[in-house]
Amino acid sequence: MTDRPIEQQHPQSTQIHTAHSDADFIRAIPKAELHVHLEGSITPETLLALAHRNHKVDLLPSTDPDQLRAWFKFTNFPHFVEVYLTICQCICRAEDFAFIVEAYAATAAAQSITYAEITTTPFIHTHIQKKGLTIDQILRGLAEGRKTARARYGIELNWVFDIPRNFSFRAQTGVYDPTPADITLDYAMRGRKQGVIGFGLGGDEVGAPAFAFAHAFQRAISNGLVSLPHAGETQGPESVWSAVQDLRAARIGHGVRAIEDPDLLSVLRVAQIPLEVNISSNICLHIYDNVYQHPFPQLDQMGLLVTINSDDPPLFNTTLIAEYTLLQSQFAYARADVARIARNAFLAMAQPSAVRRQYLARFDAWAAAHLNP
């Protein structure tokens, strides 16, 4: 990692600014987003457009965007899965992937996001839901959307293909089925030229231990993909340990449950294994009852490399800007602290050091001009 010129201050340090100027500051910070799901980034308006063009309107509870927004509102995990899979059912063509990538890019540009690593789950589209979609169509759509994002919005997008871990264990017997992992790895390898850089593991950790997927992650790493599994969300520190030891994780999706194990915290701090933290997602999923119980400030103060992300923003009624705003409004972070956390995301990006240095140099120039103008 490179040096950190933005001084790390105690999060309780204070600066006096108006709320309006703080909002402008947070919006303007150059941002990288490392944990956002493509399918989970789709807004009600985008979903309606997909449903109409693919004759899937009958799958939706309403064609009123406001009522869809109410349907999106998280109630429990089964409801979340219902909404998520319905969204996936409305994605039927290569053009649909290009469409939703461009929609994400437009939203990202409005939030000053300049770089994103977006997770998508192609196995659901090709195998779980029988829509006739092929991986070649998916890759073509992603590539077209990525090209548009770069040309129209100046945003660089890369992909993380993740395994839907809960489809990897046979019902009733619980016997591990390597098929989803093996197929997802094949897809990821075929997508390298279209911007696939990471290999992930998503879904509910309960009953789907990370160690079962070690064979696929070993092959992925050997072939140049970055290990980026989810861990430490619905399961505790043991899940993070397994992601680090069995999957050789370069970064942890969530990882907040590491707070429960001092030895694990020490390993993460010393190795500077980044955590992709999603505060609103954790609250909605009842990992923590409220924002005041969330361990983000403690993880930060302990010296872990923490980043802020939005996960599935419309489904959790959030944005990346809203997540950064929580740092100020709930944790009393000063501007310099907020900027430091934003810089962490560029430190943690799954890119060669030369690329990372370019982004960090641009960020540091912005921070020098805006933190103490």
Indicate the SS3 state at residue 201. strand
Q: Alpha carbon of 35 to those of 63, 160, 166, 237: distances in Å?
A: 29, 9, 19, 20
Question: Please, are residues 353 and 21 in contact by the beta-carbon 8 Å criterion?
Answer: no
The beta-carbon contacts of 53-57 under 8 Å, at least 24 apart in sequence, are 53/96, 54/90, 54/91, 54/92, 54/93, 54/96, 56/89, 56/90, 56/92
Q: Rg of the chain's alpha carbons, rounded to an integer?
A: 20
Residue at 115: amino acid letter? Y
DSSP class of residue 176? B
CA nearest to 279, candidates 249, 300, 250:
300
Residue 233: active-site member:
yes
Token pair 């934003």 is found at 342
Question: Please, are residues 155 and 145 in contact by the beta-carbon 8 Å criterion?
Answer: no
Which region holds residue 195: left if phi is over 0, alpha if psi is between -120 and 50, else beta? left
Indicate the SS3 state at residue 39. helix
Q: Alpha carbon of 74 to those of 70, 213, 283: distances in Å?
A: 9, 29, 10
First to last CA, the chain: 27
Catalytic option among 39, 156, 233, 323: 233
Q: Walk across the sheet containing 275-277 and list its strands.
A: 31-37, 113-120, 156-164, 196-202, 226-231, 252-254, 275-277, 306-308
Q: Which residues are catalytic?
A: 233
